[in-house]
Structure 1
Amino acid sequence: MVIAYFLLPLNGLGPHRSALSWTLFVLALVLVAVLLLRQVVHVLLGHPNVRPGLVIPLLMTLSILVFATTYLALAQNPGELVGLDTRLDALYFTLVTLATVGYGDITPHGQAARLVAILQILYTFVFLTAAATALTHYLRTALLRQRGPHRHDTPAAGADADTE
């Protein structure tokens, strides 16, 4: 996916085709959000034959690339995103925003860029956090299942040993 992000011709997106750009952005985010929520529900309900260990990281990566592509398209409008000139810059800004680091070397000056940054922060709080939590739950459950019923390191076992 990352290789496709760097190789796909994305020149058709941007201010000269803003309706198409915004439509693709919204549709991609909604699609990824629905697929992420579906995975979260499958994990929480314990559905068999799901592969959240594979699907969730791919969807999380896809959502990051959707935001990076959107920032890249917005940067074609002068003054919208100061300091963002390349695809690597767009990916870097997306990850810096995701991590809430905010170095300040790339800044959203335009209203559209600020809107997308706000949407990314909200999207991260809601969808990526839920997905990461579900993935952690799934992996913990799989690990405990793999260890089997012979768990000697439980707090209850240690507490019983202390009281004897």
Structure 2
Amino acid sequence: MTRGRRFPRHAMRNGAAAFCSVLLYYCVPVGWMFELDAWPGRLLGVCLFLAGVVGLGWLVWRRIESYLRAPNATGAQVDGLLLLVCVVGVVFALFYYRLQQLHPDQFDGLETRTDALYYTLVTLGTVGFGDVHAVGQSARIATMVQIVFDLVVLGTLLTIITTSVTSRVQAATRAAREVSGDAPDTTR
């Protein structure tokens, strides 16, 4: 398989993970009241939610299989990490949204699911525009937990990339020494 054909597969998997995460996020039945006239539209929402769950489940299963086949493959490690970020990002966004529904004094500027997803992504990106921010203690604790998670993920991603680059440079250096006939001096 050529490298040109491999990139789109990674992009498609990561795009599918993002799509299924967003599908799950916007269709999860949160705070529904039982009203008979609202059920036809909600049935579609439940079906889309289930499609998101099944899609994410399948993607997680494929990532686990891929990791077990080649645990040191950099692409698989990065794909797995991006899938984890999608899933955990949806969990944080749902938590923030539900927290604001139950306790409207926890956030300033967070009213909709889009606001909660936006806040989660802005926190993940360490941007912090300030238009949506935590004001209550529960929201601040949840945000701190997300920040710690984000730092661990970013640190892990940097470790994966650094290790990959270092091993490739070392392999290239060894190959260059073998081609030039220079053997490493092991007498020291």
Query: What TM-score comes out, normalization by structure 2 length?
Result: 0.52
**Runs of 5+ unmatched residues, structure 2:** 1-20, 33-59, 177-188
Which of 107, 116, 132 matches 1:90? 116
Residue 53 of structure 1, CA deviation: 3.3
Residue 5 of structure 1, CA deviation: 0.9
Query: What TM-score comes out, normalization by structure 1 length?
Result: 0.59
* SS of residue paired to 2:131: coil
Partner of 2:107: 81
Name the CA shift for 1:144/1:6 in 2 (closer, same or farther; >3 Å): farther
Cα deviation digits, residues 16-68 of structure 1 (max 9, x gap): xxxxxxxxxxxxxxxxxxx9xxx9xx8xxx84578213211101111211111
**Which structure 2 residues correspond to residues 1-164 of structure 1 after superposition, within 5 A?**
1-11=21-31, 47-48=71-72, 51-76=76-101, 77-125=103-151, 127-137=152-162, 140=165
Q: Identify the structure with the greater helix proportion.
A: 2
Q: Specify the structure having the higher radius of gyration (Cα).
A: 2
| Distance in 1 separating the partners of 2:86 and 2:163 | 18
Are the equivalent residues in 2 in contact too, given 1:52–1:138 (CA < 8 A)?
no
Percentage identity across paired residues of the two chains: 31
Cα deviation digits, residues 89-110 of structure 1 (max 9, x gap): 0011111122222222112111
Q: Which has the higher contact order (CA 8 A, sep 6+)?
A: 1
**Runs of 5+ unmatched residues, structure 1:** 13-34, 152-164
* SS of residue paired to 1:102: coil
| Distance in 2 separating the partners of 1:100 and 1:85 | 21
| Distance in 2 separating the partners of 1:56 and 1:86 | 27
Residue 142 of structure 1, CA deviation: 8.8
Are the equivalent residues in 2 in contact too, given 1:56–1:135 (CA < 8 A)?
no
Partner of 2:38: none
